A and B are shown apart, each in its own frame.
Chain A
Amino acid sequence: DAGVTQSPTHLIKTRGQHVTLRCSPISGHKSVSWYQQVLGQGPQFIFQYYEKEERGRGNFPDRFSARQFPNYSSELNVNALLLGDSALYLCASTVGRGLISDTQYFGPGTRLTVL
């Protein structure tokens, strides 16, 4: 069975540009959460989407947005890129809304470098 997939694997952008990252959850999973992992730190929660609606949001600016499609795949969009946005962006999928014992399974991530 396929796990969580993400594309692209690596991406290089310049300041001010826009980026779109993609995620496909495990088959049967209805929720996708996005995390940002800066080098040397643990992942930080950005949002969760469940049944195509944003259910929760972390402490990230409005430059970060996302959406979830009817097939439960998701896109993360970041506008007006800053150097500090350079990170590994991780997608995690869960069956439901990631409540107690609803394990979040992570994809391999997209490495974004902003120059």
Chain B
Amino acid sequence: GESVGLHLPTLSVQEGDNSIINCAYSNSASDYFIWYKQESGKGPQFIIDIRSNMDKRQGQRVTVLLNKTVKHLSLQIAATQPGDSAVYFCAENITLYAGGTSYGKLTFGQGTILTVHP
């Protein structure tokens, strides 16, 4: 079935290091990908997104890379800070059709736990 998965369930880094979180997806029809950060007791927080017609997008301290050939997505965080400690999810958005209309559905992976040590 359709799925989005993560290679590494946990990642531990030192403050100031760069972090890379990886994600594999299986649905080649996905047209939009999003990275979310979820802190304990909170809902997922949008970090950055990328459309399927792009291979790289940069934000503030974050970069998302998309490789459609191997169905791989990565999130790079520069100069990682203790406040970046959280669970990170990649999600793929696919357009589905039902009842004569369309809607977007997010499929999430299991998540990667990022721990940043001071």
Contact = CB atoms under 8 A, between A and B. Distances in A.
Contact of A42 (B91, B95, B104): B91
Q: Give the size category of A's interface with B.
A: 20 to 34
A41 B44 CA distance: 12
A105 B46 contact: yes
A89 B58 CA distance: 31
A90 interface: yes
A43 B45 CA distance: 13
A97 B32 contact: no
B44 A106 contact: yes
A55 B110 contact: no
A50 B108 contact: no
Contact of B104 (A43, A99, A106): A99
Interface string A40-76: 1111110010100001111000000000000000000
Contact of A106 (B43, B95, B105, B107): B43
A90 B44 CA distance: 9
Contact of B102 (A97, A105, A109): A97
User: Interface of chain A, helix or strand or loop or mixed?
Assistant: loop
B115 to A, nearest CB: 16
Given A42-B109, A98-B93, A90 B43 contact: yes
A86 interface: no
A86 to B, nearest CB: 16
A2 interface: no
B43 A99 contact: no
Contacts of A41: 110-111
A5 to B, nearest CB: 11
Nearest to A91: B43
A101 B98 CA distance: 20
Interface of A: 4, 33, 35, 40-45, 48, 50, 55-58, 90, 92, 94, 97-109
12 contacts: A42-B111, A43-B89, A43-B106, A44-B108, A92-B106, A94-B104, A98-B103, A98-B104, A100-B93, A103-B34, A104-B104, A106-B43
